[in-house]
Structures are given as structure tokens and as C-alpha cells.
Amino acid sequence: MRVLISADMEGISGVVHPAQLSPTGADYARGRMLQTEDVNAAVEGALEGGATEVVVNDSHWVQRNILIEKLHPRARLISGSTKPLGMVQGVEEADVALFIGYHAKYGTPYAVADHTWSADCLADLRIEGRSMGEAGLNAYLCGHFGVPVAMLSGDQSLEAEAKALLPHALVAVVKRARGRWAADCLSLEEARKLIRERASEAVAGAGSLSPLAPPSPCQIEVELVTTEMADRAEAVPGVVREGGRLVRFEGADVVEAFNAFRTVMNVASLHTPF
Ligand SMILES: [Zn+2]
């Protein structure tokens, strides 16, 4: 059983503030350590559950957060960006995926760092009309490669979002968000024990899980934060302007639609006047 761990940072045990999430943040060194240790707990659990190979894909921001010198010796690490499959790079060579340190989508109340892709640019992402966050988008990408998502970790709002889309996935709730930048956190020992147990159970039972089948063709609507962003995004070939801040595009499959999505986000976030 080959396991991919996609590791984001906002849903990591003890992480509640931007200072822990950004390379320029005063608490970033601690954030990286916390992320690495949650990942190690998932690696340990995956191995207990029958994993023969574990690949960790660093999925947060610059994607060079995880400390390889502290990483579990049985895991490989995909570090850095940009990668063709983004947060789920490595899924094409996996049998099951685990999403560690994930977070709820933009606009969710009581969710640590609620956002989808970019809090600066994106107000809503809809795939075939259904609003979803990074967990949903990435679960569809995994589904394209026939890989189910068996387990996630994060706060209680991530759990609610995941359960609506992936009812059979196990969730390790390591903190209860009380606001966008506040949470009631389990002790690190308890959180890591929970991650390890859920990962073990998830990998052991992964054979009976079905992947989330993505729509094909796949239509995506993106509600941007400003009209200026939509002015730029509508210049991307294939993109249709649907409203002040709303653009739509389609791919032959979810991977093609994902590539269009990334291009739209990159163009929308530019600050050039032409
Ligand atoms: Zn992140």
C-alpha cells in the first residue's frame, strides 16, 4: 500500500496564527516543527496500518516548510514548488491519500485560517456548481488517479466540510477553532496520538474505499475578491466573465480544469496595469 500524505499547515496541531504560517512570521520556526511532527505521527500510523511506501508532499505556501532533518526516516519528501499536481503531487504513484493539516474553505465561521487557495484573491470556488475548499478540489484530483482520500486532520470546521464530501474518510480533529485566529488545541501528545490512530485505521481500511469521482468534463467557477482581478482573469483563453467578480472555465477533465484554475489565480493575483 503506497501512501501519499499531502501536508498543509493551517490545520496543524497548535497552529492558530499567521506568525506561525509565513516564512517571514516570528513563530514560523515553531510552525514548521509542529507541522513536521504531525506529519511524522501520520507516517507512523500509515506504517502501522500496512503502508509499504510513504511519500509526503509539502503543500503549504512556499512548500518548503517540512524539516527533512526531522522527518520520519521511512518517508520520502516532495519539497518545493511549482509542481504539476500542486498539493497532491505524488498521487499518480499512490494507492491512498491522507490530508494532514488541512483547513476549511473561505468564509467558514470558526475555522482557523479559513481560505481557499488564496485569501487575497478567491472568495469562492465552485466545481460543477458545488462550492468547495482545498480538500474537495484535491480529493477530485486524487479521484482522477483512482486514489481515495482515507483520512484528514484539522479543526472541527474542516471535519464538517470533509464529511459532507468524503463521508467515509476518518478525521483527526486536533483543535476546535473559536475564531479565524483562535482555537482550543489538544495537547501535542494527544493530537499526535489521534493522528497516528486515525492514519493507521484509515490505511488498514483503504482497500474498501472508493475514490471521489471527478466530473468530466469539469466546469469551474471562481468568484474573485475584486473586479480588477476578474478584469485580468478574463483575458486567459477559455475564461468567460460571468459577473463583476465571477469567471467560469472548463477542462476536458479535472486536471485540465485545475491547470486553468491555477493560471486564473496566478493572473488574477498579478499587480500589473496592462
Ligand atoms: Zn496552507
Domains and CATH numbers, the chain: 2-115+133-208 (3.40.50.10780), 218-268 (3.30.1360.130)
Q: What is the pLDDT of residues 28-86, one digit of tens each?
A: 999 999 999 999 999 999 999 999 999 999 999 999 999 999 999 999 999 999 999 99
Verify cis geometry, omega within 30 degrees of 0, for the bond prior to 82. yes
10 CA → ligand 1 middle, Å: 6
pLDDT at 24: 97
How far, CA to CA in Å, does 258 sit from each of 85, 143, 252? 9, 13, 10
118 CA → ligand 1 middle, Å: 9
Candidate list 72, 103, 115, 144, residue with the active-site label? 115
30 CA → ligand 1 middle, Å: 15
pLDDT at 204: 98
Query: Is pLDDT at 152 greater than 80 in this prediction?
Result: yes
8 CA → ligand 1 middle, Å: 5
In the annotation, is 17 catalytic?
A: no
60 CA → ligand 1 middle, Å: 4
pLDDT at 272: 76
For the stretch 144-147, contacts whose Cβ atoms lie closer than 8 Å and that sit 24 or more positions apart, written own/partner, are 144/214, 144/253, 144/254, 144/255, 145/91, 145/92, 145/94, 145/211, 146/211, 147/4, 147/91, 147/94, 147/95, 147/96, 147/97, 147/211
For residue 260, the one-letter residue type is: A
Mean pLDDT of 76-101: 98
Which percentage of the chain shows pLDDT scores above 90?
Answer: 99
**Which residues are CB-neighbours of 231 under 8 A, at least 6 positions away?**
none
